Amino acid sequence: DDGGETDLDLGHYERFIDENLSRASNATTGSIYSAVLAAERRGDYLGKTVQVIPHITDEIKRRITKLTGPDVDVVITEVGGTVGDIEILPFLEAIRQFRLDVGRDNVCYVHVTLVPFIGPSGEQKTKPTQHSVTELRSRGIQPDAIVCRSDQALSGDLKRKISNLCDVAPEAVVNCADAANIYEIPLVLREEGLDAEVCRILRLDEVEPDLTEWDALVDRVEAATKPVRIGLIGKYVTLIDAYLSVVEAAKHGGFHHGAKVEIEWIQAEDVEGLLAAGRLRDLDGLIIPGGFGERGVEGKVAAAGYARENQIPCLGLCLGMQVMTIDFARNVLGLAGAHSSEFDASTPHPVIDLMDSQRDVTDLGGTMRLGAYVAELLPGSKVAEAYGKTVVSERHRHRYEFNPSYRSRFEESDLVLSGTSPDNRLVEFIELNGHPFWVGTQAHPEFKSRPTNPHPLFREFIGAALARAEGRAPHLFPPEAADRTDAARESTPAEVA
C-alpha cells in the first residue's frame, strides 16, 4: 500500500503467509548501492573510501534488522539467486556476518538445492547439492538445514548421504518433492519436519500449528474441477509472469466456486483476427489487464466491445478499464475517434487523459500514482455488492485517468460510474447496467487476493463466468459472505503496491 514497486517473489510471500508487506521487505542490489552512494554524498562516511565490505554489507544487514520490532518473532530473509553467482556475493557475506552480529542461536541458514532425476540411468543425483554446499561453505556459511527440491521423493539412503557429505543433521535434510498443486507444499514441509527443526535451531518453543484453514484450501483446490475458460488479453503474453498476480487472483476466485480456471493467452494485436474467425466465442470470460504503450490497444478495445455486445463477463484492470471506456465512448455514445491521449494526442475526444498531478512529471521511474487509495462505491452497484461495503482501498499504478470532462455524457447512459475518489474527482470503477458482469477498475485488485481469501471482484467475475459456462444466470453472493471476506482482509496491516 505504500507504493513500493517490488520483486515478483514478494507476491508469493504475501499470498502464502497472508501478511501484507511493505517496500521495506524488498531489497534489490540497485537499491542497496543507491542508498550507500547517497550516504557517501551526504558525508555519512566522513570521506572514507566506499567499499563492498563494510559499506554494502552493512547496508544489507541494516535492511534485515529494519524489519525487526516488538511484534516480530522471526524475520524470513530470502537471498535470491544461485550460490556462485557474482551478484550474490555481497549478500552471502552479509548474512555470514549477521550470525556473528546477533548470535548463533538467532540465525538459521536454510539452503534450497536441486536433486535432479536422470532419466536414462533412473537415478537421483546429489552432486549438485554437494557442490552447492561446498561453494557455500567456501563463503563461510554452513547450512543448518537443506531443503532438497526434486520431482520424485528422496529415499532414506539419499537423505543420509546428503547429511553425511554436507555435514547437516539427518533430520535437517528435508525433501520438497513436486506436489499435485503448489498449495500442498507447506503441508509437505510440515510433514518433513522443517518447522520443528527450525524451532530447535532457533531455540524457539515448538507450537503445534493450526493448519485447518490451509487443509481446507488444499481440499478446495483438489475439488475445483468445473472448467471455466478465461481469455486474458495481454500485450506481454510471451512472458506470462508479467500477469502472474492476475492469474493467481483468477484461480483464487475459482477455488471459491469449485471451478478450475483455464487461462487462454491471447495476444492483444491478434484479437481482431480472432474475432473475425470466431475464436473467442467459446470463452466464458475475458480479463483485460494493465499495460503501457500503444501496441495492442485497439485489440483490447475490440475485446472489450465484443464482451459488451455478447454478454460475456469481462473484468478490466487499470488500462483494461480505460479501453472499456474508449469502447463505450466510440460505439455507444457515438464519440467518433475517442481515445486516450496517451496513445493519440490529437484525439477529438480524450475520454482518458493525463492526470493533472502528472503533467509536469518528466522522470518515468517511480513517479506514477502509486500505492493504496480509497474509493467510495455507489450503493446498490455490482462492485458495492461484491465488496459488501461502500468504502474500499485498492492499490494503483498509473498516470492516466477517466477524463472528468466527459462524466456527464457517460452518466446519461447505461454505463455506471460506480466508484470514485473521496473528493469525487477521479473515477475508480465502472460497470454496465443490464450486463452479467462488465466491470472495470483503475486499480490493481489482483495484488490483494489470497488463496484463502479471494478478492471480491475476481470472486464475482469467476462466478459470472461459471454461470455462463453452465448456462445459468449469474448471481452475487449474499452481502454477509462478502462481509466475512473483507473483515478477514482488513485484519492485516498495509500492503506493498
E strands, 235-322, in order: 259-267, 285-288, 314-317
Q: How far apart are the first and last CA of the chain?
A: 5
> Cα dist. 353→322, 331, 405 in Å?
10, 19, 10
Pick the CATH number of 224-489 from 3.30.930.10, 3.40.50.720, 3.40.50.880, 3.10.180.10: 3.40.50.880
Contact 483, 388 (CB under 8 A): yes
Question: Model confidence at 371, in pLDDT bands (50, 70, 90)?
Answer: confident
Q: DSSP labels for 78-142?
A: ---S-TT-GGGHHHHHHHHHHHHHH-GGG---EEEEE--EETTTTEE--HHHHHHHHHHHHTT--
Strand partners, 286: 231, 314
Q: Is 318 annotated in the active site?
A: yes
Does position 487 have pLDDT exceeding 50, yes or no?
no
Does position 254 have pLDDT exceeding 90, yes or no?
yes
Q: Catalytic one among 148, 166, 314, 318? A: 318
Does position 366 have pLDDT exceeding 80, yes or no?
no
Q: In the prediction, which pLDDT does 484 show?
A: 38
Sign of the C-alpha dihedral computed for residues 38, 41, 47 and 51 taken in this order: positive
Q: Report the 10 Å Cβ neighbour count for 242.
A: 16
Contact 424, 411 (CB under 8 A): no
Pick the CATH number of 108-223 from 3.40.50.2000, 3.40.50.1820, 3.40.50.300, 3.30.200.20: 3.40.50.300
Q: In the prediction, which pLDDT does 481 show?
A: 39
For 1-102, CATH gives 3.40.50.300
Question: Which grid coordinates belong to 64?
Answer: 534485515
Question: Model confidence at 357, in pLDDT bands (50, 70, 90)?
Answer: low
Express each pLDDT in 139-162 by its tens digit: 999 999 999 999 999 999 999 999
CA distance 239 to 29: 23
Q: In the prediction, which pLDDT does 493 show?
A: 35
Q: In the prediction, which pLDDT does 472 show?
A: 73
Average pLDDT over residues 262-287: 90
Q: Given the C-alpha cell 557429505, which residue does it identify?
A: 165
Q: Is 248 annotated in the active site?
A: no
Question: Model confidence at 355, in pLDDT bands (50, 70, 90)?
Answer: confident
Distance of alpha carbon 68 from its chain centroid, rounded? 24
Q: In the prediction, which pLDDT does 274 show?
A: 86
Express each pLDDT in 428-482 by its tens digit: 999 999 999 999 999 999 999 999 999 999 999 999 999 999 987 665 443 343 4
Structural domain boundaries in the chain: 1-102, 108-223, 224-489
Angle separating helix axes 212-223 and 185-192, nearest 10 degrees? 130
Angle separating helix axes 244-257 and 8-17, nearest 10 degrees? 20
R_g over Cα of the chain: 25
> Do 1-102 and 224-489 show the same overall fold?
yes
| Closest by CA position to 233, among listed 268, 262, 264 | 268
CA distance 377 to 368: 23
The percentage of residues in the chain with a pLDDT greater than 90, rounded to a whole number, is: 76
Q: In the prediction, which pLDDT does 364 show?
A: 55
Q: Given the C-alpha cell 446519461, which residue does it identify?
A: 412
- Three-state DSSP at 143 gives coil
Express each pLDDT in 2-35 by its tens digit: 667 777 888 889 999 888 888 888 999 999 999 9
Does position 495 have pLDDT exceeding 50, yes or no?
no
Does position 293 have pLDDT exceeding 80, yes or no?
yes
CA distance 395 to 446: 9
Q: In the prediction, which pLDDT does 273 show?
A: 87
Q: DSSP labels for 453-491?
A: B--HHHHHHHHHHHHHHTTS---PPPHHHHHHHHHHHTT
Average pLDDT over residues 376-402: 93
Q: In the prediction, which pLDDT does 490 show?
A: 42
Average pLDDT over residues 306-331: 96
Q: Tell me whether strands 314-317 and 259-267 are parallel, antiparallel or unpaired.
A: unpaired
Express each pLDDT in 36-91 by its tens digit: 999 999 999 999 999 999 999 999 999 999 999 888 999 999 999 899 899 999 99
E strands, 166-252, in order: 173-177, 226-234
Q: Is 446 annotated in the active site?
A: yes
User: Which H or E run contains 57?
Assistant: helix 57-65
Entry pTM = 0.86
Q: In the prediction, which pLDDT does 206 show?
A: 86
Q: Catalytic one among 166, 444, 455, 495? A: 444
